[in-house]
Amino acid sequence: MSEDAKEVVVDTVNKETVIKEYLGSQSYIDNINAEKGKWAESYKTEKLPGMVETEVEARLKAQATKTPEQIKFDDYENRLATMQNQIAEKEKEGMRNTNKDLARNKFKEAGIPDTLLDFFVTEDATKTESNIATAIEAMTGFQTQIKQGVLGDNNTKVPGKTDTDTIDVNQAPEGLSKAEYVAWFKNHRNK
């Protein structure tokens, strides 16, 4: 490699490291922040007032060319649109509350607390049902994993869950508190 080529490579590497160091330095960041402040201030003081004045003038011209009947008509249209939006919001809220009540009942049936209910309920009934079914399935699976983790050392199946439709006499009744389940387990462990 010639001496000229070596100098070019060294200069390029030195420039790159100097640029990288400068870009990461606090003075560069301070300069950028100062420039941002200047840009924002010039926009607020120079461009924004002109844009606002132009829009106000255009609206006043449009208003001046309208007849009193047109002005009243526009006012009525605006009121109607506002009322329609309010009615739509009330209907959505009503659907959401109805779906929330249905979802709360499904959560209670599954034995799952309803503290996270708001995350799964929407205005759409089918989407809410799908969300709730997925949530119940996930939470039930999570409950089973936790119970298996706790009882896994004893090679015991999770109470209340069977692989078949047959009833196991040695299966704990559902709905027991932790203390009741421990007492039941101690009594039935050796049988």
Domain boundaries, the chain: 68-155, 159-191
pLDDT recorded at residue 190: 62
Angle in degrees, 0-180, between the axes of helices 68-110 and 125-151, rounded to the nearest 10? 30
Q: Contact, 159 vs 174, CB < 8 A?
A: yes
Instruction: Give the tens place of pLDDT for each residue, 59-92.
Output: 778 777 888 888 889 899 999 999 999 999 999 9
For the full predicted model, state whether its pTM sits above 0.85.
no
pLDDT recorded at residue 131: 87
pLDDT recorded at residue 160: 57
Give the side-chain half-sphere CA count within 13 A for 87. Answer: 6
Question: Tokens 């119970």 label which residue?
Answer: 147
Instruction: Give the tens place of pLDDT for each residue, 157-189.
Output: 555 555 554 545 567 777 888 888 888 888 776
Q: Contact, 99 vs 123, CB < 8 A?
A: yes
Question: Is 155 a residue whose pLDDT tops 70?
Answer: no
pLDDT recorded at residue 143: 83
